Amino acid sequence: MNGLTLANGHLLLPDRTVVTGDLVIAGDTIAAIRPADRGRSAAVPQPDDGTTVIDCRDRLILPGLVNCHCHAPMTLLRGAGGGLPLDRWLREAIFPREALLTDDDVHAGAVWGALEMLAGGTTCVADMYEWHYQHAFLETGRRARVTTVGRLGAPGRLQDCCAATRDWNRWMRDEVKGDVYMDLCIHSEYLTDERFCRELAAANRELKRRLHVHVSETKREHDDCLTRHGRTPIAYLVDTGLFDYGGYAAHGVWCTDDDFRLMAERDISLVHNPTSNLKLGSGIARIRRARELGVNVALGTDGPASNDNLDMFEEMHLASLLHKGVAHDPTVLTPWEVIEMATVNGARALGRDDIGALAVGRKADLCVVDLDRLHLTPADDLANLVVHAMHAGDVVQTMVGGQFVYDRTHGDAPAVAFDGCPVAATAKAELLAAVKRISDKQQQLNNTTKT
């Protein structure tokens, strides 16, 4: 297989340095990193061995971002229920709309969310929703850990979810050989009961998957769990066995120090979602304390109904500012630490040591940012620029496993920028058709209620 070299770019390396040089890719893996500052005007050598060389001068190459908590299909409900607190937001704005969704709607929303993330440099996502919609991630050429929400519902639902997870993962491993796997999931302690959790944990002894869950997002949820079970959500869920194979818990705004100790001990990462927590008025997760107590802290956007975009640069920016302000200390969370939360810590949360960093032997998952922008000039302290000045729109190319899955250096139209992704060409029409279907159904329901 002929290789690919991204030449003369600024490379953000895991030892917290930036070097200018060449990133050599063989197949789906980073094969070499060679510092080679040829200066701004020197020509990039074109080898005659069939290797493709792309000149990346004035570009920053950083590891693909890992979004550890998202609900991609909620692009259908972008911004719905603004101004409501979590319990009313779920019950008044989200659940009634979700009750109207069809499989096709969810697929259209997930494809759109997946494309939005790729265009913003996110190469791997942990996504949670209450449908079987994993195909959307496969069709858009990304890595994903998809979870079908476990919560109390129709009889047999738990068995269906477990069977789907087992069959999908087997098919993915043996036949597709792709990288979209299903993890274990419950929505939360408050939408399940103890029997459900223990049965799911027992079924997971065969599946052996990490748990994706919402935990201690609001004070009320945290306190209600204490009343119901005499333990915090983290302690209760650990006790049910759902975290026996580790996991990643979104939000954790009201987690205690004991929760953090338990999380560090049991390989449970905390996924920080600053935008969503602020928009829903849930509070500010104590991630500084969590890190002090040894918890791996990753970042997530949450769904676009509570965010309202899937821009991981914005999450980095907000996380950095928020915790400096809360601590009255600008030294809290250096830019490098924040970048790690969005990359290598995210990989670790998902139990992976093969993505999340530009390092030899890791998968070639990366994004390329054009530094020739007004707001990125002068580009002196690149780690600082990534966290405090960049946004998703600065990404010009995104690569997953050595393949460019997004490249707008030849044009912005989805069919051009997502060349090779057949669903991209029709994605917008399908999203808008789904949004219209939902709105028509809502209108019909309102009319029926009135008459």
Q: Using CB under 5 A as the criterion, which residues of the chain lie in contact with Zn ion when the complex forms?
A: 302
Q: Classify 169 as helix, strand or coil.
A: helix
* Minimum CB distance to Zn ion, residue 272 (Å): 12
Closest CA to 73 of 115, 39, 34, 30: 115
Closest CA to 97 of 405, 349, 346, 441: 441
Nearer Cβ to Zn ion, position 130 or 302?
A: 302
Closest CA to 434 of 66, 121, 75: 75
Separation of alpha carbons 320 and 325, rounded Å: 9
* Minimum CB distance to Zn ion, residue 191 (Å): 12
Nearer Cβ to Zn ion, position 22 or 302?
A: 302
Nearer Cβ to Zn ion, position 5 or 282?
A: 282
C-alpha distances (whole Å) from 221 to each of 188, 189, 235 are: 9, 9, 14
Separation of alpha carbons 427 and 404, rounded Å: 19
Nearer Cβ to Zn ion, position 204 or 277?
A: 277
Nearer Cβ to Zn ion, position 110 or 371?
A: 110
Q: Specify whether the CB–CB gap between 215 and 186 falls below 8 A.
A: no
Residue nearest to Zn ion (CB): 302
* Minimum CB distance to Zn ion, residue 303 (Å): 6
* Minimum CB distance to Zn ion, residue 214 (Å): 5
151's tokens: 């919560």
Separation of alpha carbons 402 and 31, rounded Å: 11
Q: Specify whether the CB–CB gap between 342 and 65 falls below 8 A.
A: yes
Q: Specify whether the CB–CB gap between 332 and 288 falls below 8 A.
A: yes
* Minimum CB distance to Zn ion, residue 278 (Å): 14
Nearer Cβ to Zn ion, position 249 or 405?
A: 249
* Minimum CB distance to Zn ion, residue 33 (Å): 36
Closest CA to 130 of 115, 152, 111: 152
> Which stretches of 228-296 are assigned E, i.e. beta strand?
247-251, 268-272
Nearer Cβ to Zn ion, position 56 or 70?
A: 70
Separation of alpha carbons 166 and 147, rounded Å: 12
Q: Classify 273 as helix, strand or coil.
A: coil
Cis peptide before 308 (omega within 30 of 0): yes
* Minimum CB distance to Zn ion, residue 251 (Å): 7
Separation of alpha carbons 1 and 143, rounded Å: 22
Nearer Cβ to Zn ion, position 56 or 299?
A: 299
Virtual CA dihedral for 382, 388, 392, 397, nearest 10 degrees? 0
Nearer Cβ to Zn ion, position 140 or 147?
A: 147
DSSP 8-state class, residue 74:
G
Q: Classify 409 as helix, strand or coil.
A: helix
Nearer Cβ to Zn ion, position 302 or 394?
A: 302
* Minimum CB distance to Zn ion, residue 146 (Å): 14
Nearer Cβ to Zn ion, position 302 or 365?
A: 302
Separation of alpha carbons 27 and 210, rounded Å: 28
Nearer Cβ to Zn ion, position 302 or 308?
A: 302
Q: Specify whether the CB–CB gap between 265 and 254 falls below 8 A.
A: no
Separation of alpha carbons 32 and 6, rounded Å: 11
* Minimum CB distance to Zn ion, residue 277 (Å): 10
- Which of left, alpha, beta for 128 (phi over 0: left; psi -120 to 50: alpha)? beta
* Minimum CB distance to Zn ion, residue 217 (Å): 8
**Amino acid at the residue 93:** A
* Minimum CB distance to Zn ion, residue 69 (Å): 6
**Amino acid at the residue 346:** G
